[in-house]
Amino acid sequence: MNLLQPGKLRQIAKRIIRNEKKLKLYLLNLHWLKIKKQKLRRRKKTFVKLWKAKRINRLYKQKLVCDIINFKS
């Protein structure tokens, strides 16, 4: 083995690893649009739940205030 061969082997090994990594990332991100839509759906569900909880809380507080006002009258 001369001095150039280890460097060449190292280059070939890096190229193989790089190509495998690119392929792996490509395959992982193949369905990125579906993943994005799923995240948006989950986020929307969470916001709806929070909104409903706030609305119920607000209505409950309003009812308590009305009950207190009616009780004093």
- Annotated domain spans of the chain: 1-30, 32-73
Residue 14 has pLDDT above 80, yes or no: yes
Residue located via tokens 């061969």 = 5
Q: What is the pLDDT of residues 26-42, one digit of tens each?
A: 888 888 888 889 999 99
Q: Which residues, other chains included, contact 68 with Cβ-Cβ below 8 Å and sequence gap of 6+?
A: none
Across 8-17, average pLDDT: 87
**Confidence band, pLDDT 50/70/90 cuts, at residue 48:** very high
Across 44-53, average pLDDT: 95
Phi–psi pair at 19, nearest 5 degrees: -65, -40
Note the pLDDT of residue 70.
73
- The count of C-alpha atoms lying within 13 angstroms of the C-alpha of 1, restricted to the half-sphere facing its C-beta, is 5
Note the pLDDT of residue 71.
67
How many residues are recorded in the chain? 73
